[in-house]
Chains A and B, each alone.
Chain A
Amino acid sequence: MNRKYLGYLFEIAWILPSVAVPIAFLVAIVITAFAVGIAVPGNVGRVDPKALSTTAPFDQPGLRELASGRYEAVVIAQLFNFTPGEIEIPAGSKVTFIVTSRDVIHGYKIEKSPINMMVVPGQISRMTTTFDTPGEYYIYCHEYCGAGHHLMVGKLIVTPAKTASANR
C-alpha cells in the first residue's frame, strides 16, 4: 500500500477512539449528575455579608431537622473558623448544607463525601448528600483565606444512634 495512505489509516485508527472515548465519559457524567443526583453547586442566590445576623437562614446558623432523617445545616465561614464548627447527625441522614462567608473566599470540604464547595462572600453555596457510615469526619477550608487558613477545620460526627444535636 502507498505509504501515505498507510499513514492516513493510522491517523484514523487513532482519531476514532479519541472522539468516542471522551464522548462515552461525558455520557457517564451527565447520567450521574442529572439522573443519579451527584450534582455540583449551582446558582442559589445572593446575600449581603454585612447583614448575615438579620438575614434568614444565616441569622440562626446550626443544624435543623426538617423531617425524620432529613436535615439542613446552615453554616457561616469566617476568618478562621466555621459556625457551627461541629455538626452531629445520625447515620443514614440526608443533609443539605447551606453555606456563606462573612469576609473572604473560603472552602467547605467534608472528607470522604461529595461535599466540596467554594464559599464566597455575597453568595449562597448549597449541596445535599446522605451520610451512611458512622465516624468523625474533618471539614476543611480548602481555599487560602489568610494567615490562619490551616487552622480552619471543622468536624462532622455521624453517630450510629438515632439521636442528633448541633453543638453551639
Chain B
Amino acid sequence: MATARVSGVSVAAERAEVGVFATEYRLTGLNLLIAFIALAIGGLFGVMQALQYNGIDLYKPISPILRGGYYQGLALHGVLNVLVFTTFFIIGWLTFVTSRSLGIPLASRALGWTTFGVMTGGLLIAALPLLLNNATVLFTFYPPLKADPLFYIGLTLVVVGTWLLLINQVMMLRRWRAANPAARIPLPAFMAIVTMTMWVICTFGVATEMLFLLIPWSLGLVPGTDPVLARTLFWFTGHPIVYFWLLPAYISWYNFVPQQAGGRLFSDPMARVSFILFLVLSTPIGMHHQYTDPGISEIWKLVHAIFTFGVFFPSLLTFFNVVASLENGGRARGGKGWLVWVFNLPWREPSFTTQVLAMILFAFGGAGGLINASYNINLVVHNTSWISGHFHLTVGTAVTLSFMGITYWLAPHLTGRKLWSPTMALVQAWTWFVGMGIFSHWMHTLGLLSMPRRTAIGAMRELHPEWEPLLPIIAIGALIMFVSAILYYLNMVLTITAGKKDAVPMVPFARAVSGPEDGPRVLDNFKPWLVIAFALIVINYTPTLIRLVSEMQFIPGLRSW
C-alpha cells in the first residue's frame, strides 16, 4: 500500500516505481513548468502595480512591447496568476497524486497528452490578444467590455482540456476498484477525484457563458450580450473556482504535511466528509459575489449567503483536522504541553514550514472571507482593495505558498536531484509570509478607507489624503515578496539544472490515526452526493437564470481601453 510508506532515504523499489510512472512524471513536470513561468511573469506585474500606486511608473519603459499600460499589466497579472498558474499546477499535481495514490498509471496516456496539448494550445491562443492589448478585460472579462474572440476561445480550450483529466481519473478508479473490490479508495486519490468532479460541474457556468454568449458575440454573430446574465454564469464558476485552487492545497495539508511533521493525519473519515461537503456546497453559492448587483433579487442573494456560511463548515473541519495532525506530529517528536509541542515541529524542513506558514495566513483569509460573505456587511468592502487583500491571503498565499512548498519535495522527487539550498527555501517561505502579511493587512485597511480595487491609484487626479501615508507600505510588502520570489526561482532553477544527483526521495504519504475503516462506506460512493449537489444547484440557480434568460437584452460591446 502506498499509504504505508515512510519518507526518508530512497530505496531501489522507489526508483523502480518512478520508472513505471515516467509518463505521469513528465506530464506533471511540464504542467508545473508552465505554471511557474506564468507565476513569474504575472508576479512581476504585481510588483509594478504596487510601485505605480506610489507614482513609480514602470509601464512607460516597456510600452514598446506592451502598450496597454497599467490595465494591460493588471489583466496579465490576474489571468496568469489565478487562471494559468493555478490550473496548470493543479492538473499536474492531481495527475501525480491520483496515479501515485492508486498505484496505477494514467488509464490513457494518449488522453493525458491530449489534456496537456489542449490546455497549452488554449493558453497560446489566449496569450496572443492579451499581449497585443486586445484583451484588456481582466480575468473576470465582464461584458460589455469586448475582447478579441481568440481570448475567449483560448480560455475555453484551457477549461475543456482540464475536463479530460477527470475522464482519465474515472477510468483509473474503475480499474483500481476491479483490482481492489473490498478496499477503501485511498484518501489522496479520493480527494483528487472529488476536486476534479466539483470543477467539472461548476465550469458548466463559464463554459455556457463562453459558448452561448461571449464567443458568438465577439465573432459578431449576435449584436450584443446580457451583462447580468453573463456575470451570473461567470460567478456560477467563479466562486467554486476558489475551491478548485484551494482543495489541491488541502490535499497536501491532509495527506503529506502530517507525514512531514512526523505524525499522522488525525481523522480520515472527517477529511472525507469535508471534501464531500465541498463537492455539494461549492457551487450553489456563487451569487454572494453579486450582492451589490442589480437585476437579482435580495431573497436569492440571502439564500446564497446562507449556503456560503455552510461551505465555511468544511473549512473549519479542515482547520481542526490539520492542526490536530500537526499536534500529533509535534507530540510524536517529543512535544509536551498545550502549545509547546509547536516548537518540536520540523521547522527546518522547507516544505513543511512553507506550507504551515501558508496555513497561518489562510486563517486570516478565511475570517475575512466570512466577512465578505456576510450579505450586507459586504457593502463596506465590496470591490475595494480589501478584496484584493483578502484573496492575496487565500489564493496568493494559502494556495501559492503551499504549491511552492509542495515543489520543495516534488521537484527533487520528479528530477532525482537534491534541493539546491534548504536554507534559501526557508528564507523564501518566511519572506513571503512577512511580505504578504504586510501587503495584505494594509490592503484590507485601505479597502476600509474606500480605496477601489483594480484601479491605477498612482494616476488619479486627486489622491485621498487618508490613503497617502499607507501606499508606501503596500510597495514595501510587494518588494519583500519580490525578493522571496527571486529566492524561490533561483533555488528551483539551480535544483533542476545543477542539483546534486541524489537518490529519489519517497513520496511522503501520511497514515491516519483514525483510518477510513472508522467511517461509513457511503463516503466513497459518489452518486448520492452528486445527486444532492445537482439538486442544490437547480434550486439555487434555476429561478434566477430562467428570469434572466427570458428578460435578456442585447447590450452592444465596447473596447474602452
Residues of A within 8 A of B (CB): 4, 7, 10-11, 14-15, 18-19, 22-23, 25-26, 29-30, 32-33, 38-44, 46, 48-49, 79, 103-105, 107, 109, 111-112, 114-126, 138, 140-147, 149-151, 153
Contact = CB atoms under 8 A, between A and B. Distances in A.
B434 interface: no
Report the 3 A-B pairs with minimum CB-CB distance, sorted nearest first.
A146-B560, A111-B450, A142-B452
B375 A29 contact: yes
A105 B290 CA distance: 13
Interface of B: 69, 71, 74, 138, 142, 144-145, 226-228, 231, 266-267, 270, 290-298, 301-302, 305-306, 309, 312-313, 316-317, 320, 324, 370, 374-380, 382-384, 449-450, 452-457, 459-462, 464, 513-514, 518, 551, 553, 555, 558, 560-561
A120 B293 contact: yes
A117 B148 CA distance: 28
Contact of B228 (A23, A120, A141): A120
A79 B558 CA distance: 11
B292 A118 contact: yes
Contacts of B231: 120
B450 A138 contact: yes
Contacts of A46: 295, 551, 553
B558 A26 contact: no
Contacts of B375: 29, 33, 40
Contacts of B228: 120, 122-123
Contacts of B456: 149-150
B342 to A, nearest CB: 17
Nearest to B544: A43
A104 B560 CA distance: 8
B461 A151 contact: yes
Contact of B382 (A79, A104, A116, A124): A116
A23 B306 CA distance: 9
Given A14-B316, A122-B227, A150-B460, 11 more contacts: A11-B270, A38-B379, A40-B292, A41-B293, A44-B294, A104-B145, A109-B384, A117-B292, A117-B294, A143-B383, A146-B558
Contacts of A105: 142, 144-145, 227
Given A41-B292, A109-B452, A147 B309 contact: no
A137 to B, nearest CB: 9
20 contacts: A4-B514, A7-B266, A10-B320, A22-B312, A26-B306, A40-B379, A42-B294, A43-B296, A104-B560, A107-B383, A120-B227, A123-B227, A140-B450, A145-B560, A146-B558, A147-B71, A149-B71, A150-B455, A151-B460, A153-B462
B298 A150 contact: no
Contacts of A120: 227-228, 231, 293-295
B450 A122 contact: no
